[in-house]
Amino acid sequence: MRVLVTGASGLLGRAVAARVRAAGHEVRTFQRRPSGVPGVEDVRGSVTAADDVARAVAGVDGVVHLAAKVSLAGDPADFERVNVHGTERLLAAAARAGATRFVQVSSPSVAHSGRSIVGDDARPADPGRARGDYARTKARAELAALAADGDGMRVVALRPHLVWGPGDTQLVARIVARARAGRLPLLDGGRALIDTTYVDNAAAAIAAALERADDDAVHGNAYVVTNGEPRPVADMLAGICAAAGVPAPRWSVPAGLARAAGGAVEAVWRVRPGQDEPPMTRFLAEQLSTAHWFDQRRTRADLRWRPEVTIDEGLARLRTAAARGR
């Protein structure tokens, strides 16, 4: 197949492009800067520009869509333009170009209403109850993608949860920076049980969804992807900090106080946004203080996939990469 991978300049996008190419497919990537993935055709552009999208999808058989605006704060119109309208534009262009498979890379946050998730399968995306502009617009994008599933183009939605690994400039880098500065608290002692996903496992699951998209038991469905090794938040943060050689967080804040503070920070950020992510938001406080781990049996059975790298193996790789960078 000739496969288009959008958003391949990010950690997961690069891993997906490399994985799909290693499976023997011809890979084209589409993003605003070079992907850095060897052996792929880079197309520069944005999902917000119709001409760019048309160039990107020309002649492709399958699409893996990862490009998105991912942030805890920002102009709501930007989330709408990239995550919703960009996805709709890509879906329409892919169908016109004759693509037969489309994998929408989504997020478990599309079905998270702020309460604990304890061993659930993928709940339906719910824009009305999702928390924050990112989650709401990703929920609408997922619904648009699944609505496009049909005989001409088979669509699958994958929701990798908290993806991390060496080279991660989002989750890992921010955890390490805040821990080093002494600004990484635990909420309610970090007792909440959470799932995470090592980047190679997430990439392998997405590649498996692309291969399995023509199966009637698979297309039209959404799947949550995790390592299937839920751990307390405090343990995951300590493991990442130890790998980077920085002190793990030791001080705790009540979750209710953190949520209230997050709401206040969001209000300030809307008026006077900072250069980096806000230090706390209501969504982040909920993520750090509520359980969210998932039943992986349907995901593994339908995609014929299992994680290849355990959390402990992933942390060891993170430690090795950090040591080389020092």
Residue 267 has pLDDT above 60, yes or no: no
Task: Of 294, 184, 306, give the one whose Cα is nearest residue 249.
Answer: 184
Residue 325, pLDDT above cutoff 60: yes
Overall average pLDDT of the 154-175 stretch: 91
pLDDT score recorded for residue 117: 79
* Whether pLDDT at 322 is above 70: yes
Please check the confidence at residue 272 and state whether its pLDDT lies above 60. Answer: no
Residue tagged 């944005």 (tokens):
46
Q: Is 133 exposed, middle or buried (0-12, 13-18, 19+ CB in 10 A)?
A: buried
> Does residue 282 or residue 224 have the better pLDDT?
224
Evaluate if residue 277 carries a pLDDT over 80: no
162-171, 240-249, 258-267: the lowest-pLDDT one: 258-267
Tell whether the model's pLDDT for residue 173 goes beyond 60.
Answer: yes
pLDDT at 258: 60
pLDDT score, position 302: 97
Of 41-50, 93-102, 119-128, the poorest mean pLDDT is in 119-128
User: Which residue segments constitute the domains of the chain, with CATH numbers given?
Assistant: 2-160+198-225+294-308 (3.40.50.720)
Beta strands in 199-323 (DSSP E): 222-225, 231-232, 252-253, 292-294
Q: How far is CA 159 from CA 91, 133, 240, 260, 273, in A?
A: 18, 17, 22, 28, 29
Which pLDDT does position 221 carry in this prediction?
Answer: 97
**Is residue 29 very low, low, confident or very high in pLDDT (cuts 50, 70, 90)?**
very high
The pLDDT assigned to 186 comes to 86
Active-site residues: which are they?
134
Res 158 pLDDT > 70: yes
What tens digit of pLDDT does each residue of 65-107 get?
Answer: 999 988 766 778 899 999 999 999 999 999 999 999 999 999 9
Range of weakest confidence among 18-27, 151-160, 197-206, 259-268: 259-268
* Residue 263 reports pLDDT greater than 70: no
Model confidence band, residue 17 (pLDDT cutoffs 50, 70, 90): very high
Side-chain-side CA neighbours of 95 within 13 Å: the count stands at 15
pLDDT above 90 covers what percent of the chain? 60
Angle at 71 between CA 170 and CA 7, to 5 degrees: 70
Which of 201, 85, 192, 74 lies closest to 140 in space, CA to CA? 85
